[in-house]
Structure 1
Amino acid sequence: MSKVYPLKGNQARAVAPHRTVWLSASAGTGKTQVLSARVLRLLLQDGVEPENILCLTFTKAGAAEMATRVNDVLARWVRLDDLALFQELEAIGADARPETLARARSRFAAVLDCPGGGLRIETIHAFSQWLLSAFPVESGLLPGTRAMEDRDRELLVREVLAQMLVEAEEAGDEGLLDALAHLALRMDQGSVIGFLLRCAKAIDLWQEPGAWRPPLRPRINQMLGLAADEDGSGVAALCADDAFDVASVRRCMAANAAWGTKTGIDAANMMGDWLAADPQARLAGIDDFAKLFLTAKGEAKSTRNLDKHEPAYADYQARVIAGITALRDRLALVNLAALLDPALTVGRRFALAWEAAKAREGFIDFDDQIRTAAALLTERTTADWIRYKLDRRFDHVLVDEAQDTNEAQWRIVLDGLVQDFFSGQGQSQRDPRTLFVVGDYKQAIFRFQGTSPENFAKARERVRRELAGLAEAMDEPERALLSLGLGQSYRTAMPILAFVDRAIAAIGPDRFGLPEAPEPHVGDVRPGLVRLWRPVGEGDGDEEELPEAGEEGGENWLSRPDRDLADRLARQVRQWLDTGFPLHKGTPRNARAGDVMILVRKRKDLAGLIVARLHARGVPVAGVDRLRLGAPLAVKDLMAALRFCAQPLDDLNLANLLVSPLIAWSQEDLLERGYRKDGVRLWTHLAHSRDPATVQTVEQLLDLLRRADFEPPAQLLHWLLVGPWRARFKLVARLGREANDPIDELLNAAMAYATGQVPSLVGFVQWFDSGDGELKREAGQAADLVRVMTVHGSKGLQAPIVILADAADDPDAAMARGSELVEHGPGQRPRGVPLPTLRKEEKAPPVRAAEEQAAREERAEHWRLLYVALTRAEEALFIAGAWPPSRKELPADSWYARLAPLFGEDEAWEPDAIWDGARSIGIPGPPVVEAPRTVENLGLPLLPPWLTTPIGPEPRPPRPLAPSALGEDEAPDPPTRPGPGALLAARRGTLIHKLIERLPAVAAPDRAEAALAWLARQGAEFDADAHADMLRAALAVLDHPDWQAVFGPGSLAEVPLAAVVEGRVVSGTIDRLLIAPDRVLIVDFKTARRPPASLADVPAAYLRQMAAYAAALTTIHPDRAVEAALLYTHAPQLIAIPAEVLARHHPMAAT
């Protein structure tokens, strides 16, 4: 249960409920505690109800943690005595008057009773969903709209792109097809789709006021600084004598001629030829002309030999180079505009089709939620009314992790939720309404999601400015913004924090994007250790050695140093668990698996390899924090079983299934039992094998195939996991506990598939293969498992021991996320314009400037990411890395290269058996001696055997016996000889059949008239005599003295029937049924074209069917005799079946 800690210094000032506060909180300074205390202080205020408070967080985990803390405290307050409650209220700075104590005890019930069942503590996306659902008409959403998942996006992208291609081809739109073909040649498939999705994300560019509409070239030109009608025809004019500095060219030409060497004379001649040409020819030869003044690297050539002939040669050359550069830049702009025109035309078409497809399918993605919510609060005609409704609800807004809030999200908060907080009229009508914002510029690491620390700074300045004006207008200084900082860390030991300060100073605060050096960190005075392990693979040379055949974990797609690094990390953690690593925060103890967090910069193969190596050494590990659903081996094995059901003749898939843990053949077993002649399928070969082990496996697979015929994918997976196959037990035993999460997610995917369409096995396999959803783990601290995750995923988490696993990686090797230019229109917000992949020579000055700015921002985030990684550690921080292959030195801006000098470059490496050397700052605490963790000293009873024994499958009821299916293949109905006569005879039989079905519902005196009228309409191909003959035949059946009652009043037609006969369910439908006081009559219609002449000729299958009906009715009505008959409607002919015949064909004898 959450504990209330006394607030100190700025923590206590920040929770003052009447002040608007902007809190800059460094890592580990207790910001969640402050947020929770702020909510508690607000709830204690008179007039503040739980529904008046809105808390916005960045992650679901953060929202859950904060809600848990607040609810735990409120629940505890209900039952605390006065003294204990007084102490807790005093700890958070609240007064402890009797009325406050009484209100504190009532707050938990108030929270439970508030709309929604609790405090509104949620992510900005969850709040946006609530807002859109609360105002669906105003937001323009259709009923049934749902959030788009990753797999939905991948499937819809392909559908929209395919439909766009089909429409373009049908319309003969050669321009669009050519543009798509050009994109496909320029980029790979993933890059093309990425560009199109970025165009779709920039929907404001195509739909908002001032949207880009065809033709796009004028808008592109304006964005690039060109005239709207610029088409490149005027570029040559820049080479004319009146535009180009030809005087400087002539000076350079004269100097080269005066030099007199072959090089100088050739250069002078080329300059002369260029000057003699017309502007168009000069433009065509500009590249050769530029080589006279520039090196291959684009630098100015040396003028040493020419200065003696023309002392000002360097100046003249610089002027010519400036002219060449301006000409080339102008030409690059024109060419870029020509390239962007078709690319953005395709992007616009896709974006509009994408929006239409999402609306059609009822999807809304996360970006849509934020954008639509922001527009709903700020731009729509109903925005004032919606803000008014919210204004009457939310009086206090709290924003957590504000540094990771993007511009659109700030619009929701500042323009939508709290805009009226800053108006004097709104404030004067009630107690001060407050905004509480907490964040840390140094921890802004989500730029790839559109966030920027600059937004954080701009938002703070805006709030400060507006509140300053409000405070002045109302003459109330306390209305002004209270800016505070938290620097005292309660998480990390002081030696680690001192190392963090030294790292910031050595790298430079400006490299972090900080306007000035931050305040020094202050931490707990307790043992702390920072250790640098020698980089793995140092001095190995360029030779890449692949693993030996059969070597455990021979993952040859990773470099040898990476593989070695993963193995050493696993050995190190295993050693800590075996020999003990002392931890002294709180109660001294030795480290356990859950105390270790291994961080990687990027989500890549190394993380998975580390997990595998840890598992191989018996270290409890939780697996990577995020992965593609189709990637885990457990999922691949289960999907192999499903693919086998869909296509047993897929040899490769069947082989994968056989050697998986589900069946557990070895490779040798597969070679021995699966060896066969060419052209023979593996499944066919196994099915005909007489080898006992193979026969057993084939029977196991046949059982799976039988179930696959009638069970949907989700139920089939569940049976595989907990049924006789025991797939979950086998997979977890082989792959470790981390296999449970992907197994569960696969089950969720199968159930999600069933909710969207009719489930089928083949359909599910195709659906699964067409997209690949992402599995996300919430990496909390409940399980005692080593956590392996990215630094981004570790945000908000901590661990006593943190390892930076890939600190030596090159930050420049990161994949580019795509460039964009920004359009600054008059009266409009800046809008990003996506760019396709460009070659170096195609990057005009605006593109180069944009990429350079993006690179600077990326590098600043690279260093902020380091800050987050360093501050996850509580007591020990370890820095490791693998030497990049084919490099003689570490990348200059790698974390390892920048942190290593802080340990003293001249210091000798300390001996280390695992890492071949280490350097340390600080020391670990003294060894801790713990009693062995056994069941006895924990005081826990042994688990009973039944608790660890898997539960077998629930007994299934017997499959229903359908009488109509009893031997249908034994009752042949050969076709009649074709011809007009046969067709008329068949038609006659059909009409008589219809009459027998319909006439029982008509009163006996009216049957003839009704039948003849019906036959006149339906049997017009027959004459009146034929109609009369058919009527006589039908009435002969209906008026049969023994069976007249079954067609009369009180009888039933098409009667469903079910009963248990001797433990077997019999289920079917009877054509005619009469239940009399002493007997039950049943008649079943048969449409055979050649009816039997007598009972002796009736097929046994029909007799078994009627006997099954009779047996079921005997069970239902044991006090009545059952009489049965068959009616062949083609003749028609009624054949009664005696009781002794029914007894001989009893259904249990038939099965």
Structure 2
Amino acid sequence: MIRRDDATEAQVRAADPGLSTWLSANAGSGKTRVLTDRVARLLLQGVRPEKILCLTYTKAAASEMQNRLFARLGGWAMRPDDALRRDLAELGEDGPFPTDRLNKARRLFATAIEAPGGLKIQTIHSFCATLLRRFPLEAGVSPQFHEMEDRAAALLRVEVVEALASGPDAPRVTDVARGLSEDGFDDICTEVLAHRAGLIPPADPATIRGWFGVPPNQTADAILQDTLRPGDMTLLHALVGVFGNSGSNDQKAARALGRITQLDAGAIATLEAVFLFKGGKTPGAAKIGTLPMKSTRDAMDPALLDRLNDWMRAVEDGKARRIALHAADRTIALHQFAEVFVPAYDAAKLRRGVLDFDDLIDRARALLNDRDVAEWVLYRLDGGIDHILVDEAQDTSPRQWDVVDRLALEITSGQGTAEDRPRTLFVVGDKKQSIYSFQGADPGAFDRMQEQFGAQLAHGPTPLQDATLEYSFRSAPVILDLVDATFRGREASGFAGRGSHKAFHAAMPGRVEMWPLVPKPDKIDDPAFEDPVDVVRHEDAPAVLARRIALELRRMIDTRTPIAVFDRDRGQWSSRPMTPGDVLILVQSRGPIFDEIIRALKAANVPTAGTDRLKVSAELAVRDLRALLTVLATPEDDLALATVLKSPLFGWDEQRLYTLAHHRKDPFLWQSLRTAPAAEAETTLLLDLMRQADFQRPFDLIERALTRHDGRRKLLSRLGLEAEDGINALLAQALAYEQGEIPSLTGFLAWMETDDDKIKRQISQNADQVRVMSVHGAKGLEAPVVILPDTTPKKDEIKGNVVTDAGRVLWKTRAAETPETVATALADAKARQNAERDRLLYVAMTRAEQRLIVCAAGELGKEGKGWYDIIRRGMEERGATIEPFAFADGEGGAGLALDGTPWPAIVDIPPPAATQQDALPGWAHQVAPPPAPAPGSRSPSDLGGAKALPGEDGQDVEAAMAFGSIVHRLLEHLPALPRDTHRDAARDLLAEAERPLLDAAMRHVDACLDAPDLAPLFAADALVEVPVTAPLAELDASILGVIDRLVIDDTRVLAVDFKSNATVPATIDAVPDGLLRQMGAYAAALAQIFPDRRIDTALVWTATGEIQMLPHNMVMDALSRAAHLDQAAPAP
């Protein structure tokens, strides 16, 4: 008899095929092995494969289970007798094992492969689809129905709403549209479908009003009349007088009340703002006892104070009633819209022969509960299913449980069970890992269904046994102890009151680190104007943490950080060096830090698998190909053509594109391209595709561009191998489009506009790359090193338009106008959301095998609700030590650490001999150096040096600058106007300027306009206030300035700057050095812009209307001095 340890014995008992079992399995406890073992033991007992149904939550889980089962059965087929006997005994089978029994086990692989329909290991959606196809007539669906993808569903919803909006139900659409933003209608339609069980049939208006405490005949006018009573206007005037002689807050209230001229609906907002608390502990409550201030209240006529308090109570009551009425009307509009939208949407799907994924469950559920046909269907299934196994039961929704309940009816009722044909139910899950509420998962249903099945099977031949797997085969003891400490006391989130995790590998080395917080920077310079508003800057906390993680991983790999490996033959631990594939980085959501980490890993030359979710339309390769298709459909689209030319498909640079586009004679860029002598290859390629555009399907066009014209190679060589996922996804979308629509290029482009699809990239666990994923995406995965960088608190808000309260579907209102009914529903939803965040953290922490690293960037908040603070409290409870960290980025700080068993010495294993020579050169494996930061911008007028002549230093600098601005503004606008209108125009232009100052400025303007030498500056072809920017090597920076007047001809460019100094230099040598530096900067910039023309600079002294031409060498020498501002004379 084989002796087993406690963990293995618990698995063997749970896999007993003769018992119905409800199994609660901790993370890493081997539930997939138990499922596989149970199916194998059922087959060993002679159960036919087609009589076993395994329902899993994901396709990946189904594939994993099937692969494991076939691997085991295939292994048995080739095992020697003694080895096979040992395998069967370890599985839990009782001996003896004669030859015929061994041969039967060897034949199981062929039996499973040849079973009609194969082994039924599938998702519940897949099973429901199979059920509906088997009974289409009974289910009321087309036998040829197909599942509708999200994009097709979105387009169909739009079509249905448009049809409703143009028909007799248009008022219902309008009522809902009033409460939505421009792009929010599809969201409300999606939510209506998700909550259809609570909306169909709809609640009647009187019932909905009752939910909010609104009388059936309540109207807004009635509430207004109760709030504003006769005589209130007299009271209002009296209050204005009293409040006006009180404190500052009361005076502010008096001014607000004084602006009310008529007591009507328009006055309500002001009265509520004055009479009611806006926030604090009692938002919306009347300010009785606080308005007006105490001394004023004490001095008021008691009768007037009583009338004030009564009015404030009326306003308080009126607001509550008005908010409740508004919320009730919104919810009524939602239910009445759902009443017409849901049937119309279902009818549209029926006409097209399609079902969405919710339909698969709902139709199967309805089929199994239809009294007219349910017995027939169950009779047919009664002969087909004897054993039901449900995986990931904690993520099964109540609607899916209904399907399982009906399938298990014969098992739980005990009917139809022959003596020699036992039937069993096996359910495995972990309430602590229920994290898919957005897909309908309800952890409460896990307990309810256990109780229900337990009661139903209590008196049958196979009572439901309650089993638990507490041992973790995955994580080190130090990590499991921290998990128990972290979630102790969180029973509301689904955790037991005491620690419930046991480490199978008690000697497994382990360590938990909590890095010091990366704080939000105190002050960040304003971003460059061309940056996107959501750009993550270099000094932002997420970017800093991402670089720290990447550099630390690079250091850990380079310094051969140990990873423990258990040698089963020797029964002891050894170590190997850490590799990139050992690391799993998990985030709560794919926000800025997600992208920053991937970017930082690549910059640090740490191999990474990239993102685990791909938004097809956002991929650069897809955007380039979509631009190409746009050009083929509309060659006149200049932006699309420019995009294609700059893409890897053609590889043009800015200068080449500028040369083609600038000063072109043709109105469209495509016409210029066709006649450009240097663009023959590009034109030939595009013409070839254009000739095919009217005859070939979108898929064929894309494939032609990728294959015949080498587009795939060009895109991958520029964008990397990751781009291939996006390209393949675009091709798949083209095929999907052609299956449901009449293929056309313009139709496909319009179809792509609705694209918000995200595809899941299959990231191999065996690839030696760091994986960066969301916690949801990492469910079921594990890694020796897990890093949690996204641990700051998340917003405590409920997304979406709809909330539920005890089965009642309500439409949310604005936060400031939330009635008690909606507030209660929101509070319950937030409680469920916070509980799920706890469970999400549990999933994240239990992915770690040996090393768990916790870090955070930004602000932790004061309430301690973020993961960082939750884990910190658990670490402190476990006695974590304060440890100084010195990171590879040069920073450091105090953090926390928990150490378990130390790692043994590394045992080096020689790498396998290379089988082929690397075809790529060495530079292809090196990360390109980061681009040099863009030089800063400097103003030409701020390059140091004196700006004023001797004798002007004592003048008021600010006054002089203000006067100069007035002169510049007048010279900018007045020369284009008739001279006799200048005075009036100046007063209109500078109405705020004092008359003496304006008259003085006009004298400067007149002096300039009367000077014959300055006439070319004010000619029609002279440019005014010209912005100029260019990088200057002399300053090691770019300049950004404005030239007052610019005159350009075929051979010469003249830059002129107006100066309103009170003193005019007698000679050029007397011009202040700061002005020369400014003109030198302009000259250097213009020389780059106009390399084939002479650059001249000049100053115009507006006081006299004189122009001084500046020698080129003089201004350039002055500019060279600007590079050493510490040696320059300070500006006055």
Q: Residue by residue, what CA displacement relative to the aligned partner does 1:4-54 show, whole Å, maximum 9, x if unpaired? A: 9997131111011111111111111111011101111111114x2111110
Residue in 1 that maps onto 2:976: none
Counterpart residue identity of residue 532, structure 1? M
> Which among 181, 192, 204 is matched to residue 187 of structure 1?
181
1:493 aligns with 2:476: yes
Instruction: Tell me the secondary structure at the aligned position of residue 467 of structure 2.
Output: strand
> How many Å separate the matches in 2 of 1:877 and 1:761?
51
Supply the distance in 2 between the matched residues of 1:235 and 1:550 (Cα, whole angstroms): 51
Contact residue 787 and residue 852 of structure 2 kept, 8 A: yes
Q: Which one of the candidate residues 865, 878, 883 is aligned to 2:858? A: 883
1:462 aligned onto 2:452: yes
String of CA shifts for 1:818-874, please: whole Å, max 9, x gaps.
Answer: 332346xxxxxx4x5252x41134322111100000000001111110110111111
Q: CA deviation at 1:561?
A: 2.2
Alpha carbons of 1:785 and 1:412: their partners in 2 closer, same or farther (altered >3 Å)? same
Amino acid at match of 1:132: L
Which residue identity lines up with residue 814 of structure 2 in the other structure?
R
The answer to whether the aligner puts 1:155 opposite 2:155 as a matched pair is yes
The letter for the 2-side match of 1:499 is: L
Q: For 1:64 and 1:879, how far apart are their aligned partners in 2?
A: 32
CA contact (8 A) 1:805 1:881 kept: yes
Amino acid at match of 1:833: V
Aligned length: 873
The aligned counterpart of 1:633 is 620
Partners of 2:400 and 2:896 in 1: how far apart? 44
1:379 aligns with 2:370: yes
Aligned to 2:850, the other structure's residue is in SS state strand
2:503 to 488, 506, 522: 522
Distance 2:690 2:103 in 1: 66
Given the alignment of the two structures, is residue 699 of structure 1 paired with residue 713 of structure 2, yes or no? no
Mean alpha-carbon deviation: is it higher for 639-648 or for 12-21? Answer: 639-648
Question: Which secondary structure does the structure 1 equivalent of 2:617 belong to?
Answer: coil
Q: How does 1:319-468 map to 2 (within 5 A)?
A: 329-414=320-405, 416-427=406-417, 429-468=419-458
Q: Summarize deviations over 1:750-798 as a string: whole Å, max 9, x none.
A: 1222222343323322222233332122344143332221110111111
Give runs of aligned pairs for residues 246-257 of structure 1, distance below 5 A.
Answer: none
Contact 2:616/2:759 (<8 A) preserved = yes
Matched with 2:545 is 565
State the 1:122 CA deviation: 0.6
AA partner of residue 647 (structure 2)? S
Give the aligned partner of residue 1023 of structure 1. Answer: none
Partners of 1:790 and 1:855 lie apart in 2 by 21
- 2:514 maps to 1:532: yes
Structure 1's unaligned 5+ residue stretches are: 242-260, 274-279, 310-315, 824-829, 946-1151
Q: How does 1:193-212 map to 2 (within 5 A)?
A: 193-205=186-198, 207=200, 211-212=201-202
From 770, 784, 795, the equivalent of 1:812 is 795
Verify: 1:614 aligned to 2:605, yes or no. no
**What value does the CA root-mean-square deviation take over the aligned residues?**
4.2
Equivalent runs, 1:977-1126 vs 2, <5 Å: none
Alignment deviations for residues 349-394 of structure 1 (CA, whole Å, 9 cap, x no partner): 2222211211122221111111111111123521122122212211
The residue number in structure 1 matching 2:843 is 868
Specify the SS of the correspondent of 1:737: coil
Equivalent residues of 1:5, 1:91 under 8 A apart: no
Change (3 A) 1:7 1:516: closer
Partner Cα separation in structure 2 for residue 564 and residue 104 of structure 1: 58
Deviations 1:570-610 (A, max 9, x none): 33333344443321134632233322222111133543343
Which structure: larger Rg? 1
Q: Which residue of 1 aligns with 2:127?
A: 127
Structure 2 CA distance, aligned partners of 1:820 and 1:51?
42
Match of 1:22 in 2: 22
Distance 1:790 1:690 in 2: 51
**Alignment partners' CA distance in 1, 2:866 and 2:768:** 32
Name the counterpart of 1:1100.
Answer: none
Query: For the residues of structure 1 that align with 2:6 and 2:93, how far apart are their CA atoms?
Result: 11
Contact 2:520 2:540 (8 Å CA) reproduced: no
Instruction: Give the SS at the match of 1:130.
Output: helix
Give the whole-Å Cα distance in 2 for the aligned partners of 1:480 and 1:548.
71
Name the aligned partner's letter for residue 413 of structure 1.
V
**Alpha-carbon shift at residue 643 of structure 1 (Å):** 2.1
Aligned to 1:722: 707
**Residue pair 2:881, 2:897 contacting (<8 A) in 1 also:** no
C-alpha separation between the residues in 2 aligned to 1:303 and 1:704?
Answer: 79
Give me the whole-angstrom Cα distance separating, in 2, the residues matched to 1:81 and 1:7. Answer: 27
Q: Cα distance, 1:445 vs. partner?
A: 0.4
Structure 1 residues 616 and 361: CA distance shift in structure 2, 3 A = farther
Deviation at 1:944, TM superposition (A): 9.2
Moved more, 513-522 or 87-96: 513-522
Q: For the residues of structure 1 that align with 2:701 and 2:322, how far apart are their CA atoms? A: 63
Q: 1:435 to 1:695 in 2, by over 3 A?
A: same
1:225-279 residue CA offsets vs partner (Å, 9 max, x unmatched)? 55555557886999999xxxxxxxxxxxxxxxxxxx979xx99x99xx9xxxxxx
Secondary structure at the residue paired with 2:882?
coil
Matching residue of 2:903:
925
Q: Report the counterpart of residue 303 of structure 2 in structure 1.
A: none
Q: CA deviation at 1:639?
A: 1.9
d(CA) in 1 for partners of 2:309, 2:373? 60
Change (3 A) 1:144 1:520: closer
- Match of residue 110 from structure 2: 109
Structure 2 counterpart of 1:96: 95
Residue 463 of structure 2 corresponds to which residue in structure 1? Answer: 480
For residues 559 and 158 of structure 1, what CA distance do their matches in structure 2 show?
Answer: 43
CA contact (8 A) 1:235 1:331 kept: yes
SS at match of 2:885: coil
Q: Given that residues 587 and 773 in structure 2 are in contact (C-alpha distance below 8 angstroms), is that contact kept between their aligned partners in structure 1?
A: yes
In the alignment, which residue of structure 2 is the partner of 1:49?
Answer: 48
Q: Distance in 2 between matches of 1:206 and 1:303?
A: 45
Verify: 1:176 aligned to 2:168, yes or no.
no
Give the alignment of 1:852-863 within 5 angstroms: 852-863=827-838
Give the counterpart letter for 1:682 in structure 2.
L
**Secondary structure of the corresponding residue to residue 910 of structure 1:** strand
Q: How does 1:584-603 map to 2 (within 5 A)?
A: 584-586=564-566, 588-603=575-590
Tell me if structure 1 keeps the 8 A contact 2:164–2:170: no
Structure 2 residue 641 is the aligned partner of structure 1 residue 648: no
- Normalised TM-score (structure 2): 0.70
- Equivalent-residue separation in structure 1 for 2:558 and 2:526 (angstroms): 31
Instruction: Show the counterpart of 1:713.
Output: 698
Q: 1:517 to 1:733 in 2, by over 3 A?
A: farther
Is 1:73 equivalent to 2:69 in the alignment? no
Q: 1:807, 1:895 within 8 Å by CA — same for their partners in 2?
A: yes
What amino acid sits opposite 1:100 in the alignment? Answer: R
Q: Distance in 2 between matches of 1:286 and 1:708?
A: 60
1:622-1021 residue pairs with structure 2 within 5 A? Answer: 622-677=609-664, 680-691=667-678, 694-708=679-693, 710-725=695-710, 727-808=711-792, 810-812=793-795, 816-822=799-805, 830=807, 832-835=808-811, 837-884=812-859, 889=861, 892-902=864-874, 907-914=882-889, 916-917=892-893, 918-922=895-899, 925-926=903-904, 928=906, 930=908, 933=911, 937-938=912-913, 940-942=915-917
Asked if structure 2 preserves the Cα contact closer than 8 Å seen for 1:580 and 1:591, the reply is yes
Looking at structure 1, the residues matched to 915 and 59 of structure 2 have their Cα atoms a distance apart, in angstroms, of 35
